[in-house]
C-alpha cells in the first residue's frame, strides 16, 4: 500500500479553511480513481504543547502506479488545482510507501 | 481513535538512523502500553519531486487518555528518551484525533 499525505500548517483563517476543506476539497479528492481509504487527522498539539500543524489527510492507493495515475487523472488534477487555490502556503505533500501496519502483538 | 505522529526529516546519516530506528527505537516504542497499531511510512518524494522528509511513524491509541498515560509510563519515557538521543534535530511530534477513516464508497 502507498499513500499521498497532505500535512497542513495552521491557516490564518481556520474557520474558512475548514469549511472549504469539508465542502469543496474533500468531495473533489474523494472522486480520485483508485482511492482505497482516506484518513483525516486533526492535530491537537504535540508532546511539548502546541503544534504548528492543523490537519493531515492520508489518501491510500494500492501501489505507486495507481497513485501516480490517479494524480494525473482529471479528478486528481481538479483536486490538485483546488489545493493550490486554498492551501498553497500551508500544505506539505508527501508520497510514501506504507512499510508496516502491525498490531502490537506482532511487534513484541 | 487518536495517534501520536513522529515525522522525521532526512537525517545526515541515513544508514545509521535506519539501523538505530529498527534495532533500538522501534522495539522500545512497541512496548508502550495501550498501543493498538503502528504504521511506518517511508517517504519517497512529493508530487513536485524530492521531499525533505524521510519517514513517518504513527502510533494509534484508543483515546487521548490512553495516549497520554502511555507517554508518561516508564516504557513511554524510555522511548521518548531514546528519541531525543538519536533524532532530536530531525523529528516533529504531533498528537492527533483520527476524525475519519472512510472507504471511498462512503465518501462519494
Interface predicted TM-score of the whole assembly (ipTM), two decimals: 0.92
Beta-sheet pairing, B91-103 with A37-45: antiparallel
Q: State the residue for C-alpha cell 535506519.
A: B18
| Residue A106, phi-psi category: left (phi > 0), alpha (psi -120 to 50), beta (remainder) | alpha
pTM of structure: 0.93
Q: What tens-digit pLDDT sequence spans chain A (108 residues)?
A: 999 999 999 999 999 999 999 999 999 999 999 999 999 999 999 998 999 999 999 999 999 999 999 999 999 999 999 999 999 999 999 999 998 666 555 554
Smallest Cα distance from A108 to chain B, Å = 6
Nearest CB to B45; choose among A36, A95, A108: A95
Q: Which of A43, A98, A102 sits opposite B96 (nearest CB)?
A: A43
A97 closest CA partner among A55, A67, A75: A67
Three-state secondary-structure class, residue A32? coil
Report the run of H or E that residue A44 belongs to, with start and end: strand A37-45
C-beta atoms of B51 and A94 within 8 A? yes
Among B32, B39, B2, B21, which Cα is nearest to B91's? B21
Which chain A residues have a beta carbon less than 8 Å from that of B97?
A: 41-42, 44
pLDDT tens-digit readout, B47-86: 989 999 999 999 999 999 999 999 999 999 999 999 999 9
Among B41, B92, B96, select the one facing A41 at the smallest CB separation: B96
Amino acid at each position: 500500500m502507498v499513500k499521498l499525505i497532505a500535512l497542513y500548517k495552521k491557516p490564518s483563517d481556520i474557520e474558512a479553511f475548514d469549511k472549504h476543506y469539508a465542502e469543496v476539497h474533500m468531495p473533489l479528492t474523494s472522486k480520485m480513481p483508485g482511492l482505497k481509504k482516506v484518513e483525516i487527522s486533526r492535530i491537537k498539539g504535540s508532546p511539548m504543547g502546541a503544534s504548528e500543524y492543523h490537519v493531515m489527510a492520508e489518501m491510500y492507493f494500492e501501489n505507486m502506479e495507481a497513485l501516480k495515475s490517479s494524480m494525473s487523472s482529471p479528478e486528481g488534477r481538479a483536486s490538485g488545482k483546488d489545493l493550490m487555490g486554498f492551501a498553497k502556503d500551508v500544505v506539505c505533500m508527501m508520497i510514501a510507501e506504507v512499510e508496516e501496519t502491525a498490531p502490537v502483538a506482532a511487534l513484541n
